[in-house]
C-alpha cells in the first residue's frame, strides 16, 4: 500500500522528533541563528518600520504585477536578453533543456535557487546527459547525498561536520582526514572550481527582479553565485513571477532586511545586480542571457482574496527557524520543496489542498512565524484558513467529520463533558497504574510514547472551581 | 532552429499568464492600509561620520581598510599587500591611475590588464577601482566597468583603490546614484560587496574564503 503524504509526515515526524542527534544539531544551529538574528535586528533602528516598508514595497509590486513584469521584460530585452514566461514546471524545464541542447551545453553550474528545486530542473537536465553541479556548499552537500535541501537558506543544516567529512571521503576523496569546516570548504572549492571554468551554462535564481532598472538581484555569501554568472558563456535565471519589485532604491531596505532575517548579517556579502548579457566593450560575462519567469500556481494564489500576500515572501527562512514544529520534526519531514510555516501555507496552493492539507495542522498556531516575518505575512491565520478550506471543500475523511461532530456535541453539553472527563481520568489512571502508558491501549499514546505521562488531576476543574469559590 | 519559430515558442504562455494576472488583480483584496505619516519613520540609524562608520563596518565584515594620505602612500601599501601574496599573475583594471600605482608598487610582477581579457583561473590577485564606497554596510560598489565581473571574485585576493570622495553614507544614496547616472545603460553588471567570500553552511561556523576572495583590501586615499 502506498503511503499518503499525510501518513508519511506523521511517521517521519515521530522518528525525527525522537532522534536525539538530529535534535542536537538543529538546536545548536538554531541557537547560533537566534543570537545572530537578534544582534542583527538590534542594528536596525526601527525594525517594525523596516518590516512595514518591505510589506509596502511587496504589496505595491504584487498589486501591479503585470505592469512591473512587463517593465522588467522590456528593459532586459532592450539589452539583448531573453525573457521566457513559463506557465508551469514542465514548460520551464523544457525551455532550459532545449536551450542547453541547442547551444551544446554539457556541464551546468548552479547557484542556489528554490524555484529550480520546485520545478525539478536538475533531474530534467540530467536525463539529457547534462552534468549539473550545485555550487552553494550546502546544496553541494545535499546533492552528493541525493537529498532535497533541508532548509531554504541553509540546505545542509541537518548534518554535522563528521557526517559531511564521511560523505566527502566516500564521494570525493578517500584521503580527506580533517573534519574542520574550513578544510571541508576547501575540498568543495577545489572540486567546484574545475566545474566553474568548464561549464558552458550557469543557472541562478533571483532574490529580486527590479522593474525600473531591468535588473536581476542575487544575494550570495560564498561568491558561487558570482562565478556562475561571470564565467560561463550562458546565464539562465529561473525565478518566480512574484519576485519583481518596483524600484532599484527599494533594495536599500530589502537587502538589509533579507540578510538580517536570513542570517543576521547587515547585508549579504555579494549583493549582485545583473542587467543583461555582456555588452560590447565589457571584459567578461555571459553573452547569452535568459530569464525564465515561472508561474506554476502563483497567478492562482494572486486570485485568492485572503492569501494574496503569501506572494510577498522573500524566502528568508526566518519563519522556519522560529517554528517550534520545524525545530522538532526538521525540514525533510515536510516532504515539500518549501518546508516550515511558509511551506505549509504555500504547498497546498502549488500542489493541491487534497494531498497537503495535513500541513495546515503542522502548527500550534502560536504565531511565532507571523511575528518574525519581515514582510509581515499573517502566516498562522493562513494556516487556519487552509484548514477551513480543506473542511469546506470536503477533502476531509468522513470518519474525521463524524468524530468532530461528536466532539462538538460533547463540548456543547456540560453534563456530557463532565462525564467524558470523569471516564478519561478513571480509565487513564487504571491504565497508567498497570504500566500501559504509551502502549497501543493508551489513548494518549501519541504523547506518551516518547514522554512521561502528564500527572492526572484527582478531581475535575469544575469541582475545584466550586470548592475554591465556596472557600473564599 | 529557425529564428521566427523560436520567438514564438518564447512567448507561448506569456499572454495566458498576463491574462491570469490581470483577472486576479481585478479581485478586490481588503488590506489594512499603511498608516499615513509612517513613511517618515527613520528605519536606519543616521550616519554622522561616514568614514568612521565605514572603517567600523569594514572590520566587522572582515575586510582590510587602509587610509592613505597620497598616491605615494597608496603605492607603498599596495606594494606591501602584493609582497605578502604568492608569486603569480596579477590582474589589473586598465586605468591610468592604476597603471602608475602598480608600476610603482610592483614593477617586477607579471600583470594581465583588463583589456587583455578576464582574469584567469590561476590569478593570485586582482586590483580594481570601485564606483563608490558605502559607509552604512562597509561595502564597495563595483560595476562591469571596474575590470569586469570576474575581477572582484576569481582571485583569492581583491584589492580596491578608492578615493575618500567616493564614500557615500548609505545604500539608498548609492542606489540613487546608480539610477541617476544610468549606470546600467553602460554596464550589464554591478555588485555591492561587503567583505570577503564566506560560508556558514557547516554547523553555522563561519569560514572565510569560500568560492571568492579570502582577502578584500580597500586602499582609501584621502582627497578627491
Ligand atoms: S514567509 Fe516571511 S519569514 Fe517566512 S520565509 Fe517568507 S519572508 Fe521569510
Cβ-based contacts of B36 with chain A (< 8 Å): none
B116 CB neighbour count, 10 Å cutoff: 11
Read off the pLDDT of each residue in A397-411 and give the average, rounded to a whole number. 88
Q: Has residue B38 got a pLDDT over 90?
A: no
Contact between residue A312 and residue A55 where contact means Cβ atoms under 8 Å apart: yes
**CA A345, CA A307: separation in Å to the nearest integer?**
9
Confidence of residue B103 (pLDDT cuts 50, 70, 90): very high
Interface of A with B in 82-101 (CB under 8 A): 82-87, 91, 95
**What integer pLDDT is reported at residue B29 of this predicted model?**
81
pTM, rounded to two decimals:
0.91
The per-residue pLDDT for B1 is 38
DSSP H or E segment with residue A467? helix A461-471
Q: Average pLDDT in the A154-160 region?
A: 93
Confidence category of residue A450, pLDDT binned at 50, 70, 90? confident
Contact call for residues B125 and B158 (beta carbons, < 8 A): yes
Top residue of A61, A95, A230, A294 to mutate, by most chain B CBs within 10 Å, is A230
Q: In what order do the strands lie in the sheet with B90-92?
A: B64-68, B215-221, B157-163, B125-129, B90-92, B111-113
pLDDT in tens, A46-82: 999 999 999 999 999 999 999 999 999 999 999 999 9
Which has the minimum average pLDDT: A52-66, A99-113, A230-244, B30-44?
B30-44
* Interval A19-54: pLDDT, tens: 999 999 999 999 999 999 999 999 999 999 999 999
Is pLDDT of B2 > 60?
no
Tens digit of pLDDT for each residue in A351-377?
877 788 889 999 999 999 999 999 999
The nearest alpha carbon in chain A to B194 belongs to A269
**CA B183/CA B180 separation, integer angstroms:** 8
CB-based contact A46 B42, cutoff 8 Å: yes
Task: Give me the helices (H) in B136-209, please.
Answer: 171-180, 183-186
pLDDT (average), residues A151-163: 93
Instruction: Report the pLDDT averaged over residues A403-425.
Output: 91
Say which range, A234-238, B4-8, B130-134, has the weakest mean pLDDT: B4-8
Nearest to B149 by CA among A439, A204, A366, A141: A204
- What pLDDT, on a 0 to 100 scale, did the predictor assign at position B154? 95
> Which of A32, A166, A223 to probe by mutation at the B interface, max B CB count within 10 Å?
A223
Radius of gyration, CA atoms only, chain B = 22
Answer yes or no: do B21 and A241 touch at CB < 8 A.
yes
Asked whether A317 lines ligand 1 (CB < 6 A), one says yes
Q: Whose CA is nearest to atom 2 of ligand 1?
A: A373
Q: Where residue B82 falls among pLDDT bands split at 50, 70, 90?
A: very high
**pLDDT value at A286 more than 50:** yes
CA A391 to CA A70: how far, in whole Å? 38
CB contact under 8 Å between A252 and B170, yes or no, is yes
Asked if pLDDT for residue B3 goes beyond 50, the answer is no
CATH number assigned to the domain covering B63-221 = 3.40.50.10420
Residue B28's pLDDT band (cuts 50, 70, 90): confident
ipTM of this model? Answer: 0.93
- Average pLDDT of chain A to the nearest whole number: 93
Q: Ligand 1 atom 7: the closest Cα is on which residue?
A: A313
> Closest Cα to residue A438, out of A448, A429, A425?
A448
How confident is residue B8, by pLDDT bands cut at 50, 70 and 90? very low
Residue from B132, B209, B138 nearest B176 by CA: B132
Cβ–Cβ below 8 Å for A271 and B192: yes
Distance CA A198, CA A195 (A): 5
Closest CA to A208 of A152, A236, A246, A235: A246
B37 pLDDT band, cuts 50/70/90, is low
List the domains of chain A with CATH numbers: 43-299 (3.40.50.10420), 415-471 (no CATH)
Amino acid at each position: 500500500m502506498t503511503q499518503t503524504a499525510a501518513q508519511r509526515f506523521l511517521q517521519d515526524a515521530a522518528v525525527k522528533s525522537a532522534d536525539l542527534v538530529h535534535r542536537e544539531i538543529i538546536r545548536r544551529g538554531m541557537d547560533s541563528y537566534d543570537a545572530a538574528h537578534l544582534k542583527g535586528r538590534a542594528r536596525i533602528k526601527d525594525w517594525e518600520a523596516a518590516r512595514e516598508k518591505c510589506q509596502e514595497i511587496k504589496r505595491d509590486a504584487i498589486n501591479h504585477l503585470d505592469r512591473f513584469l512587463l517593465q522588467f521584460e522590456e528593459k532586459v530585452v532592450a539589452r539583448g536578453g531573453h525573457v521566457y514566461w513559463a506557465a508551469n514546471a514542465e514548460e520551464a524545464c523544457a525551455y532550459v533543456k532545449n536551450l542547453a541542447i541547442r547551444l551544446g551545453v554539457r556541464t551546468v553550474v548552479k547557484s542556489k535557487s528554490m524555484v529550480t528545486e520546485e520545478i525539478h530542473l536538475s533531474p530534467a537536465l540530467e536525463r539529457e546527459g547534462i552534468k549539473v553541479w550545485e555550487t552553494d556548499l550546502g546544496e553541494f552537500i545535499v546533492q552528493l547525498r541525493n537529498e532535497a535541501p533541508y532548509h531554504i537558506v541553509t540546505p545542509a543544516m541537518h548534518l554535522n561536520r563528521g557526517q559531511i567529512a564521511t560523505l566527502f571521503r566516500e564521494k570525493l576523496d578517500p584521503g580527506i582526514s580533517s573534519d574542520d569546516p574550513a578544510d571541508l570548504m576547501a575540498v568543495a572549492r577545489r572540486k567546484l572550481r574545475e566545474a566553474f571554468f568548464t561549464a558552458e551554462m550557469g543557472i541562478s535564481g533571483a532574490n529580486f527582479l527590479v522593474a525600473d532598472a531591468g535588473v536581476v538581484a542575487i544575494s550570495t555569501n560564498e561568491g558561487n553565485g558570482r562565478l556562475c554568472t561571470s564565467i560561463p558563456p550562458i546565464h539562465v535565471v529561473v525565478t518566480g513571477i512574484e519576485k519583481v519589485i518596483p524600484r532599484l532604491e527599494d533594495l536599500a531596505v530589502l537587502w538589509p532586511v533579507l540578510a538580517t532575517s536570513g542570517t543576521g548579517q547587515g547585508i549579504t556579502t555579494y549583493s549582485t545586480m545583473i542587467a543583461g548579457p555582456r555588452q560590447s566593450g565589457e571584459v567578461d560575462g555571459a553573452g547569452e542571457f535568459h530569464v525564465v519567469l515561472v508561474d506554476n500556481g502563483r497567478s492562482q494564489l494572486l486570485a485568492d482574496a485572503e492569501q494574496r500576500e503569501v506572494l510577498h515572501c522573500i524566502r528568508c527562512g526566518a519563519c522556519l527557524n522560529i517554528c517550534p514544529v520545524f525545530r522538532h520534526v526538521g525540514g525533510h519531514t515536510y516532504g515539500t520543496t518549501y518546508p516550515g510555516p511558509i511551506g505549509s501555507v504555500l504547498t497546498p496552493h502549488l500542489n493541491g489542498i487534497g494531498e497537503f492539507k495535513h500541513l495546515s495542522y503542522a502548527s500550534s498556531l502560536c504565531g511565532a512565524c507571523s511575528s518574525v516575518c519581515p514582510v509581515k505575512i499573517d502566516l498562522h491565520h493562513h494556516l487556519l484558513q487552509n484548514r477551513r478550506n480543506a473542511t469546506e471543500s470536503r477533502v476531509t475523511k468522513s470518519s474525521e467529520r463524524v468524530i468532530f461532530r461528536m466532539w462538538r456535541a460533547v463540548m456543547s453539553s456540560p453534563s456530557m463533558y463532565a462525564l467524558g472527563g470523569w471516564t478519561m481520568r478513571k480509565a487513564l489512571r487504571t491504565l497508567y497504574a498497570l504500566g500501559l502508558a504509551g502502549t497501543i491501549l493508551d489513548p494518549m499514546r501519541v504523547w506518551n510514547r516518547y514522554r512521561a505521562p502528564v500527572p492526572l488531576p484527582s478531581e475535575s476543574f469544575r469541582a475545584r472551581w466550586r470548592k475554591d469559590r465556596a472557600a473564599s | 532552429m529557425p529564428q521566427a519559430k523560436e520567438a514564438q515558442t518564447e512567448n507561448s504562455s506569456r499572454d495566458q499568464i498576463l491574462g491570469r494576472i490581470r483577472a486576479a488583480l481585478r479581485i478586490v483584496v481588503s488590506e489594512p492600509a499603511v498608516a499615513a505619516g509612517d513613511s517618515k519613520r527613520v528605519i536606519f540609524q543616521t550616519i554622522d561620520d561616514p568614514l568612521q562608520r565605514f572603517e567600523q563596518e569594514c572590520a566587522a565584515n572582515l575586510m582590510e581598510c587602509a587610509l592613505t594620505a597620497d598616491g605615494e602612500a597608496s603605492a607603498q601599501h599596495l606594494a606591501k599587500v602584493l609582497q605578502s601574496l604568492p608569486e603569480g599573475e596579477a590582474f589589473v583594471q586598465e586605468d591610468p591611475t592604476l597603471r602608475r600605482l602598480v608600476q610603482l608598487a610592483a614593477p617586477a610582477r607579471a600583470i594581465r590588464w583588463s583589456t587583455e581579457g578576464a582574469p584567469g583561473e590561476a590569478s593570485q590577485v586582482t586590483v580594481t577601482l570601485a564606483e563608490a564606497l558605502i559607509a552604512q554596510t562597509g561595502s564597495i560598489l563595483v560595476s562591469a566597468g571596474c575590470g569586469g565581473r570576474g575581477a572582484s571574485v576569481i582571485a583569492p585576493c581583491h584589492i580596491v583603490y578608492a578615493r575618500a570622495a567616493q564614500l557615500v553614507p548609505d545604500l539608498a544614496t548609492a542606489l540613487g546614484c546608480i539610477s541617476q547616472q544610468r549606470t546600467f545603460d553602460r554596464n550589464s553588471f554591478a555588485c555591492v560587496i561587503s567583505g570577503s567570500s564566506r560560508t556558514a553552511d557547516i554547523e553555522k561556523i563561519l569560514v572565510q574564503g569560500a568560492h571568492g576572495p579570502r582577502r578584500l583590501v580597500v586602499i582609501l586615499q584621502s582627497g578627491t
